[in-house]
């Protein structure tokens, strides 16, 4: 077969096979008896042959111990899968479960994506055009800015660069769930400082946790417009401010997030990040979105107006207790003996998606994204039918 036996008992194998590559002998990794070898196969039939797969060790024995205990992330269903499951066309689904911006990006984005010149060339590892545009947009020099494949990537990158195994982070649930998830992936310990009953941050308890637990990172979420806060990293060597294009520019599907970082930290993130983390399409789209700030502002105003209308309407529902919100979603306590999970399921059968979490702090709650006026009306009609 021309393939040496690299599949020794104590090794896992990774081979990268390109599309339609001809079969080549693979050299033996003789000195690597306890090593890890891996294989990534492209979409066409692979020509790499596995001559011998040792049966003694199961795959999970290769997995790092702390990852074997990791709970899976609770994702929402992809739109197409959801559409097939509900037997409804995607455009007939009222999607208020993932805090997406239903207006999408400004028209410049689709035009720019339709005329991509060099999709076959790897992207700029430094996302120079986008960082320059963001510097203009935010008022902080591009040296302080790093762009990622969504804020999600940046949160993971920060943890990878900062945390040693066993280090602690402070998380303030209920909150964005990726902090806890990424801490788990990075082997960190999560110190939970729950929010107050009105879901505001418990500052005294956070200060206490900092004093006693000595965490390496504290994650705080605060919905805000792009304002002077990005500049604060110039004054504080221990502050990072993250922002996303997912909400403001309706680009959740293209994955673009960014942050401002102290220069003494960003240097190391540059070294550790994946070189091509922001795709050509993502950078082009984000730059195009920033060219139309008027559109972004109009959409923001429309969503704020709709959120406030939604809040008033939800307050009238006898089995819901909505909490005031400064973001693009409203959290509602489900009251009057109604089960929150069942409510979510009943709404989904009617084509209206809202979010429910199994986590203990949020078991009796649903979360509703602020959408377009027609989406609010459809949700309210379904809630009326369930009353």
Which stretches of the chain bind ligand PLP, using CB under 6 A? 99, 150-152, 176, 221, 244, 246, 252, 257
Which CB atom, from 344 or from 367, has the smaller least distance to ligand PLP? Answer: 367
Is residue 3 a contact partner of residue 49, using CB atoms and an 8 Å limit?
A: yes
- Closest to ligand PLP by CB, 245 vs 295, is 245
Interacting residues of 281 by C-beta distance below 8 A, sequence separation 6+: 113, 116, 119, 254
Q: In which residue are the tokens 């790093």 written?
A: 146
* CA 150/CA 176 separation, integer angstroms: 14
Rounded distance between C-alpha atoms, residue 353 and residue 338, angstroms = 17
- Of 152 and 180, nearer to ligand PLP (C-beta) is 152
Shortest reach from residue 151's CB to ligand PLP, in Å: 4
Residue 286 vs 382, nearer CB to ligand PLP? 286
Instruction: Note the residue count of the chain.
Output: 387
Closest distance to ligand PLP from the beta carbon of 230 (Å): 15
Of 244 and 277, the one with the shorter C-beta distance to ligand PLP is 244
Contacts of 240 (CB under 8 A, 6+ apart): 158, 233, 259, 260, 261, 262, 265
Q: Which residue is nearest to ligand PLP (CB)?
A: 150
Question: Are 289 and 109 spatial neighbours (Cβ–Cβ below 8 Å)?
Answer: yes
Q: Which is nearer to ligand PLP, 251 or 382 (CB)?
A: 251
Shortest gap between Cβ of 154 and ligand PLP (angstroms)?
8
Token pair recorded at residue 356: 């429910």
Q: How far is the CB of 354 from ligand PLP (least distance, A)?
A: 15
Min dist. Cβ of residue 367 to ligand PLP (A): 11
Residue 178 host element (H or E): helix 178-185
Cβ of residue 373: shortest distance to ligand PLP, in angstroms? Answer: 22
Return the residue matching tokens 């042959």: 49
For residue 379, the minimal CB distance to ligand PLP (Å) is 20
**DSSP string across 204-247:** HHHHHHHHHH--SEE-------S-GGGGGGGT-TT--EEEEHHH
Closer residue to ligand PLP (CB): 252 or 278: 252
β-bridge mates for residue 243, sequence order: 258
In order of 8, 161, 253, 325, 381, the CA distances from 302 in angstroms are 61, 39, 21, 15, 21
* Token duo for residue 86: 């509900």
- Please, are residues 117 and 346 in contact by the beta-carbon 8 Å criterion? no
Distances (CA, A) of 345 to 87, 268, 339, 349, 350: 15, 45, 10, 6, 9
Least distance CB 153 / ligand PLP (angstroms): 7
Nearer to ligand PLP, 144 or 258 (CB): 258
Q: Which is nearer to ligand PLP, 156 or 306 (CB)?
A: 156
SS3 270: helix
CB of 240 to ligand PLP, least distance (A): 12
């Amino acid at each position: 077969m021309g393939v040496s036996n690299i599949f020794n008992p104590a090794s896992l194998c990774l081979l990268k096979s390109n599309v339609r590559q001809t079969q080549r002998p693979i050299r033996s990794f003789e000195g690597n008896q306890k090593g890890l070898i891996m294989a990534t196969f492209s979409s066409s039939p692979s020509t790499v042959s596995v001559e011998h797969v040792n049966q003694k060790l199961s795959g999970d024995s290769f997995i790092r111990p702390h990852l074997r205990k990791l709970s899976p992330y609770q994702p929402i269903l992809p739109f197409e899968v959801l559409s097939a499951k509900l037997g409804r066309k995607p455009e007939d689904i009222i999607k208020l479960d993932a805090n997406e911006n239903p207006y999408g990006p400004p028209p410049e984005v689709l035009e720019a994506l339709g005329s991509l010149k060099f999709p076959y060339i790897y992207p700029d590892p430094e996302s120079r055009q986008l960082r320059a545009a963001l510097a203009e947009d935010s008022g902080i020099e591009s040296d302080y800015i790093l762009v990622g494949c969504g804020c999600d990537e940046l949160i993971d990158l920060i943890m990878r660069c900062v945390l040693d195994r066993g280090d602690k982070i402070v998380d303030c649930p209920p909150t964005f769930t990726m902090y806890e998830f990424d801490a788990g992936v990075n082997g960190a310990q999560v110190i939970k400082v729950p929010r107050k009953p009105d879901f505001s941050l418990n500052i005294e308890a956070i200060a206490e946790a900092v004093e006693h637990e000595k965490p390496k990172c504290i994650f705080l979420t605060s919905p805000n417009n792009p304002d002077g806060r990005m500049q604060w990293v110039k004054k504080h060597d221990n502050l990072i401010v993250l922002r996303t294009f997912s909400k403001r520019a309706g680009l959740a599907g293209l994955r673009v997030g960014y942050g401002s970082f102290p220069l003494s930290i960003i240097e190391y993130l540059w070294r550790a990040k994946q070189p091509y983390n922001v795709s050509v399409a993502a950078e082009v789209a984000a730059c195009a979105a920033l060219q139309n700030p008027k559109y972004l502002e109009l959409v923001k105003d429309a969503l704020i107006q709709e959120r406030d209308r939604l809040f008033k309407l939800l307050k009238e529902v006898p089995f819901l207790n909505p909490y005031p919100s400064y973001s693009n979603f409203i959290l509602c306590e489900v009251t009057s003996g109604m089960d929150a999970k069942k409510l979510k399921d009943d709404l989904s059968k009617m084509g209206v998606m809202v979010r429910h979490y199994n986590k203990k702090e949020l078991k009796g709650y649903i979360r509703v994204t602020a959408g377009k006026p027609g989406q609010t009306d459809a949700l309210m009609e379904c809630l009326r039918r369930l009353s």
